[in-house]
Structure 1
Amino acid sequence: TNPDGTWSLPNVIGGRYRVRAWRTPDLSLTEPAIFFLGGNESKSVNLPLSKYDGRSVSAAIAPRPAIIGQPANLVVRLEVQSVDQQGIVQGTPVVGATMQLSGSGDWRVRSENPTLTDSDGQASYAVTCNSSGTQPLGVTVDGQYYDLKLPDCSSGFVEPTTTDPSVRTTPTTRRTTSTTR
């Protein structure tokens, strides 16, 4: 690699190529550059690397999207990212970290908050979204705030998606039921 970050590979035969780049332990290209090189062609390929050297937070919610006024389960995972010898981004769970949910969105947390991450680096919350649309929510860990990328909250009603006027649809009705044993 040259001081400016460029690298050259002369006398490459033509064909289809899939090119990746990385630097252990902190830089990686997660989507390879795929291209065809003609037999007499010369080509420059830009391989922008991203930094993976610190904490990362990801979240999953069920149901997805959260339905207004209905309970939802939110799991937030905290890990430290690094790049291995093969250029793969790896995450190591952070165990026992204190996480606190907060944000400007209309959410109600129905479980312990703050809470500690488990052996998988995960903290679980019972939440309820109270308004439709985008409802910002995040988590604070050791004074650092991380925005959770959650889908917009939904009313639970799904509009028919057909554009064919000959197809007839009926409205969707949601009912809450319970079973007693």
Structure 2
Amino acid sequence: MFWDWFLAAKFVGAVALAVGLGWVWTNSELVTSAYTDERAVQALTLQPLSFSVATIPPSDDAAFELAPAPDTGNIPLTRLAVSDPVVTKPVVRGGDARLSGHVRGLGPDDVGQVRLTRITDGGSSDWTVGVNADGSWTAPGIHGGRYRIRALVPNLRASNGSTVLFLGEGQRRELNLAVTTPPEGLVFELVAADELPLGSDSVVAVTVGRQTVDGEGRSVLAAVPGVPVQATFSSLLSTLSANVVSTDPGGAARFLVRCGAPGRASVTFVAGDQTALLTLPPCVAPVIQIPPAVGDAESTDG
């Protein structure tokens, strides 16, 4: 029975194969034309794509009327308002804060002052209060903020520095200050080159001044003109000018000297009853630059 089924399957397969070959033979032109004629892939021509666009409605269609554009030609243009930044005015008086204290260094006849400078982003402002005979001072009814405070006696005693502090609104604070008295003696300052060349004439000058106080209570050095100054140099130098010279309007006295040996010398200045010993720049041998010989220059260039 097995062989019967096997023979039947073979028969059916043979019939199907014969039918398939017959169909291929009949439609061979359709099968080969896809690879041989104008319907091949290489010969296909792609037509350009066409895009659809929205249809514009007719102008007489009221449902699609466009709103007229506004006429901006007649609209007045107003200038933009530029506001200044908000700043705090540096007003000192008018608040409810208070500063007070004492000033040291005053003489019995001094008319002392305490100067308060309030500093804000809007600038600065000063207020000056007097100092009592016992050295006490008070600044009532002031605004809070950042202050710079100093004591002074105009044209007589200078501020011994200044104090910077922050005062809160309504705050009460004690602050002690001091003034200084400038020295009465003369101040000598040497003016000369960094080095004094051997065998050459050099100028050595000295300025004579005195510490004073200006009207703002600042210590300044004021020139003292017309003061005879005697100069005595050490043995390394010889004086070529007079050894006694009066100061000019700028407070300077100049001397002409010459170094005789290398080393560092000194000078003694005497003005009135005051004497100052100062150290001079060193006496050094000048550096002589020797140019190269003509032959050496040519050989170097070659």
Q: TM-score, normalised by structure 1?
A: 0.59
In the alignment, which residue of structure 2 is the partner of 1:42?
173
Q: Partner residue of 2:270?
A: 140
Find the partner of 1:7 among 130, 137, 141: 137
The structural deviation recorded for 1:28 is 0.9
C-alpha separation in 1, matches of 2:220 and 2:214: 7
The answer to whether the Cα contact below 8 Å between 1:109 and 1:125 also exists between their aligned partners in 2 is no
Partner residue, 2:63? none
Q: Distance in 2 between matches of 1:154 and 1:24?
A: 43
Q: Alignment partner for residue 108 of structure 1, among 231, 237, 243?
A: 237
User: What's the counterpart of residue 13 of structure 2?
Assistant: none
Unaligned runs of 5+ in 2: 1-130, 291-302
**In structure 2, the residue corresponding to 1:85 is in which secondary structure?**
coil
**Aligned-partner Cα distance in 2 for 1:14–1:130:** 64
Taking the aligned partners of 2:207 and 2:249, their CA distance within structure 1 comes to 11
Q: Secondary structure at the match of 1:48?
A: strand
Query: More helix per residue: 1 or 2?
Result: 2
Deviation at 1:61, TM superposition (A): 2.6
* Alpha-carbon distance between aligned partners in 1 of 2:266 and 2:151, rounded to the nearest angstrom: 35
Q: Are the structure 2 counterparts of residues 144 and 60 from structure 1 closer, same or farther at C-alpha, using a change threshold of 3 Å?
A: closer
- Aligned residues between the structures: 154
Unaligned 5+ residue runs, structure 1? 157-173
CA–CA distance in structure 1, aligned partners of residues 185 and 141 of structure 2: 41
Q: C-alpha offsets along residues 105-131 of structure 1, whole Å, 9 cap, x if unaligned?
A: 776353431222123221012455964
Q: 1:100 to 1:12 in 2, by over 3 A?
A: same
- Residues 68-79 of structure 1 mapped to structure 2, 5 A cutoff: 73-79=203-209
Q: Does 1:122 align with 2:252?
A: yes
Decide whether the 8 Å contact of 2:192 with 2:281 is kept in 1: no
Q: How does 1:167-178 map to 2 (within 5 A)?
A: 176-177=287-288
Letter in 2 for 1:5: G
From the superposition, tell whether residues 142 and 175 of structure 1 become closer, same or farther in structure 2 (CA, over 3 Å).
closer
Q: How does 1:24-43 map to 2 (within 5 A)?
A: 24-29=154-159, 32-39=161-168, 40=171, 42-43=173-174
Q: Which amino acid aligns with 2:288?
A: T
Question: How much identity, in percent, do the aligned residues show?
Answer: 21
Asked if 1:60 corresponds to 2:171, the answer is no
- Output the CA distance in 2 between the equivalents of 1:60 and 1:50: 25
